[in-house]
A = this chain, B = another copy of it.
């Protein structure tokens, strides 16, 4: 391709809203242009790299036997109602009505579409396992799209869905997907951090996120200084910094020397800090009690305190039965914070959020700030397991300006559910080796997880097993964001001058810069281009009538891995100048062997991963 015949509008200026390197460089190098907030057009150079990422993903999916299909981008709302996600997904789901009044969604993921296709075709266990994928347009109605294609509204995702007769088969494919993901990122030149992740709204357990470190990452990750433990804060665990008392007997024994509960006046005391100062105690001795509202709760609450009037409903004919709304008192040690993702998982709830003031008053009989477990029977008590180790603790007294002290677990209150719901943070201890944990921000590029039977049950998928019995398949789900992956490659591979593409995903492998595109230099440049292209090397020839400095700067900006400068003087000696974008030094190469040499180097670079 000749530069003048392509469309590569490079820029000196940086758009004002481009705060990260990939966003700046994708604009400046003419890879993308903005159509609107969160909506970007890939220009020819950007699209070439995009397609290379796409092809790497396709090759790795095909290699593990996943089959490519192409459902639609606009998907019938009916399918989302069947799965229950029409209701459970928030406003990020872009819903629309057509002229006949039918509901549709612009796909953000495609569990429903794939499950629907398989449901109609699946009869026998002999058809399993079955793994299908698409590489297709997706939409998330982000309120604040930012950072260019890193967090856009429309994007392209590879999403695969697998169907299995048993957990062993699911696990086998899940592992194969994990290996494929590692290959994909390696071939793209990316350093990814695989972390255990909360599977969030997707449901199911057993999941791995593939993260890249990023200052502007959506996710907080915890790493161990001593071992290779890495986890998303939404699921991170830590070594216990206390001795839990998991049996009532142990708790009772611990309470044997604790004075009886005493109600104390705590006027004008609003925060835990103030309370600690007032009582000359430590936050670790305070049982923080928070009232939470949970939405679409699957957990059985039929025996839970205060829940006897709650009734489970189906939000859709084949959706699981849920309580649309339930309240809980959540206890945690005063120096810790509740991890809402863990809490939602423990409650099998779609979402949890702090209750409104009015609900707190109704439930605790007191304004916000005086909740406590002693005597509370209007809602179920959910306790972080740290609380089991507390004794002689301070809590709210369900009364304005009053607290209890000398509170002991089991003796004075008990919990309906005990779970790990604490937020792990930097400085906590690694759950594996006890080393110190530290935090980094990360962006998720890919996510694989075991969905289980959430969709196959709600959408009624079944097959006949070896014994002719009807059975429900278990599912896995595996996504990669292409736009983010591309942007992350640039984040990892750039310098002040521009992008430094890994050869595998570079828009062109070689850029030929004739110092002046005329006469012998032109002829030599054309010949080199023809020779390289004949041997499968992708060449951009900068035939523009620009000063060499402009061409060099643009070559550095757009980041083509190999640069060949063809100039009068060197050519007179039968030489051209070759430089790798990633290296400082250039070298002289014989014009006669330059094409063969660069072909070898390009192929070696691609095949080295």
Contacts and interface: CB of A to CB of B under 8 A. Distances in A.
A76 interface: yes
A141 B40 CA distance: 24
Interface string A213-237: 0000000000000000000000000
B113 A41 contact: yes
B36 A143 contact: no
Looking at A65, A78, A91, A117, which has the most chain B CB atoms within 10 Å of its CB? A117
A248 interface: no
A130 to B, nearest CB: 6
A44 interface: yes
B99 A91 contact: yes
A5 interface: yes
A98 interface: yes
Nearest to A131: B7
A154 B72 contact: yes
A158 to B, nearest CB: 14
A6 B69 CA distance: 11
A92 B74 CA distance: 15
Interface residues of A, number: 51
Contact of A94 (B47, B65, B96): B96
A73 B76 contact: no
A111 to B, nearest CB: 13
Given A94-B96, A130-B7, A137-B137, A120 B70 contact: no
Contact of A67 (B44, B50, B65, B137): B44
A398 to B, nearest CB: 39
Interface in A114-144: 116-117, 120-121, 130, 132, 136-137, 139, 141, 143
B96 A39 contact: no
Which of A6, A98, A130 has the most chain B CB atoms closer than 10 A to its own CB?
A98
A28 interface: no
Given A41-B70, A74-B139, 8 more contacts: A6-B67, A7-B130, A7-B132, A9-B121, A35-B71, A35-B72, A47-B69, A96-B96
Interface of A: 5-7, 9, 33, 35-36, 39-44, 47, 50, 65, 67-76, 78-79, 91-92, 94, 96, 98-100, 102, 106, 113, 116-117, 120-121, 130, 132, 136-137, 139, 141, 143, 153-154
